[in-house]
Amino acid sequence: MPKKPVKPAAAPAVKKPGKKKAQLLRGMKDTLPQEQHYWEYLRDGVVQASRAYGYDRIDVPMMEEYGLFVRSVGTTSDIVEKEMYVFETKGEDTVALRPEFTAGMCRAYIEHGMMNQPQPLKLWTDGAIFRYDRPQAGRYRQFHQSDWEIMGSPQPALDAELISLGQHLLNDLGLQVTVFVNSIGCRECRPNYISVLREYLKEHKKNLCETCKLRMVKNPLRVLDCKEEACRMITTEAPHTVDNLCEACREHFMKVLEYLDEGEIQYRLQPRLVRGLDYYSRTTFEFVLKSEENEPSPAAIIGGGRYDYLIEDLGGPGHVPAVGMAMGMERVILAIKEAAVPVAEAPKPDVFLAQIGETARKRALKMFEELRKAGIAVASNISKNGLSDQLSLANRAQAKLTLILGQKEMMDNTIIIRDMNTTSQETIGQDKLIASLKKRLSDM
């Protein structure tokens, strides 16, 4: 078990505020307004694809019992060994910020008796994930994943359908990707493979990195996804999981590949793909950008696989086979930017409402809401006084029309409509404003 966190004696003292500038934590990221359209584009794509493929949304907490993650992800995984944010609450519970979604989704499945609903159950979610990882380009300590899980069936067609969702979602978002697939077998055949692998690794022990020398004893499968060049050279020649599968697993994997062929999903077999988490069984897969598919260790955009024992191991109602995948949202956005996919920015307002003087400002507050309710895309800046300031704001917002409400207009119950393109202006009665705007905008 990893070291238990030390309980703080009391709430940590906060240093006197002083003059020190407040700063972002390392590995964290602000998503600024000018980036939000990428997130909207991605979330829209995710929602549409999830609905189309028949998934229901679920939300699970960001924090769970620490033991839940240890039991699911496994004690020898990087996540449990070094990447979890773990702490003790005032009630002396040891909790962790979620380092992935599957464990929490399985807990919810068990806790809400979802096995009593028609199976399989298809659930999706998205949100923040926390890993105390070494920050670098595209890798953060708080990042976001979209996640899909299918619980309650061993059917290989579901593995293929999930991969198909990943492929088509990424394509629809404008990305060209390749999916690597493998099968790591079940509890029947994996022990045999592990001993074959361990024998092979023993012969090359002296050239393995120090971590892999330990992994070779504790969890030799993890040597297969070591990023060190020396280890990679050795594992390229290592025995393949697929050559050591039992009959049932081999058949399952062949079926998955057949369905992928039928679905015209162009996959590549990757015998070293074991994934870093303990709960996987049978199918494992990862999507990478097509432009990076031949690099020695391309950064995955989506990772997933089967986890036929996890729900049972977490105290579920017997054997509940399942398969799932998670997509790194920051990585997708980075790829969308790099591929220069055209992503529409937030829509521009059609109309800018400018006011001059205190009485007009008061009226403008209400008028803004009347226009909004009438379905007119309107913007304003109620804090400004001068007209020229407001006209330049209207120009910057690319409004087609500006409404000018001054003292005289307030007295006459009128308002000026200025065409921002021609600069021509017309005064009309306030009671005719909405009808007149609708007509003008539809003519433009």
Which residues contribute to the site for ligand AMP (CB under 6 A)?
100, 131, 133, 139-140, 143, 145, 300-303, 326, 328, 330-331
Q: What is the DSSP letter of 346?
A: S
Whole-angstrom distance, CA of residue 438 vs CA of residue 417: 12
Pick 125 or 145: Cβ nearer ligand AMP: 145
* Contact assessment for residue 166 and residue 124, using Cβ atoms and an 8 Å cutoff: no
Report the DSSP beta bridge partners of residue 427.
416
Least separation in angstroms between residue 99's CB and ligand AMP is 8
Q: At what angle do helices 102-111 and 66-73 cross, to 10 degrees?
A: 110
Least separation in angstroms between residue 400's CB and ligand AMP is 40
Return the HEC string of 236-274.
HCCCCHHHHCCHHHHHHHHHHHHHHHHCCCCEEECCCCC
Pick 158 or 301: Cβ nearer ligand AMP: 301
Least separation in angstroms between residue 103's CB and ligand AMP is 11
Pick 330 or 409: Cβ nearer ligand AMP: 330
DSSP per position, 2-47: PPPPPPPSSSPPPPP-TTPPP-PPTT-----GGGHHHHHHHHHHHH
Whole-angstrom distance, CA of residue 398 vs CA of residue 421: 10
Pick 142 or 155: Cβ nearer ligand AMP: 142
Least separation in angstroms between residue 153's CB and ligand AMP is 22
Q: Minimal CA–CA distance to 193: which of 282, 106, 117, 119?
A: 282
Pick 133 or 312: Cβ nearer ligand AMP: 133
Residue of this chain nearest to ligand AMP (CB atom): 328
Burial class, 430, CB count within 10 angstroms (exposed 0-12 / middle 13-18 / buried 19+)? middle
Pick 274 or 410: Cβ nearer ligand AMP: 274
Whole-angstrom distance, CA of residue 356 vs CA of residue 439: 25
Least separation in angstroms between residue 174's CB and ligand AMP is 17
Burial class, 303, CB count within 10 angstroms (exposed 0-12 / middle 13-18 / buried 19+)? buried
Q: At what angle do helices 210-218 and 190-203 cross, to 10 degrees?
A: 150
Least separation in angstroms between residue 279's CB and ligand AMP is 11
The alpha carbon torsion through 164, 166, 171, 173 (nearest 10 deg) reads 150
Least separation in angstroms between residue 389's CB and ligand AMP is 42
Least separation in angstroms between residue 217's CB and ligand AMP is 24
Pick 299 or 434: Cβ nearer ligand AMP: 299
Pick 133 or 228: Cβ nearer ligand AMP: 133
Least separation in angstroms between residue 100's CB and ligand AMP is 5
Q: Minimal CA–CA distance to 137: which of 365, 299, 319, 369?
A: 299
Collect all residues with Cβ–Cβ distance below 8 Å to 348 and sequence separation of at least 6. Answer: 377, 397, 398, 399
Pick 310 or 367: Cβ nearer ligand AMP: 310
Q: Minimal CA–CA distance to 356: which of 314, 307, 389, 398?
A: 389
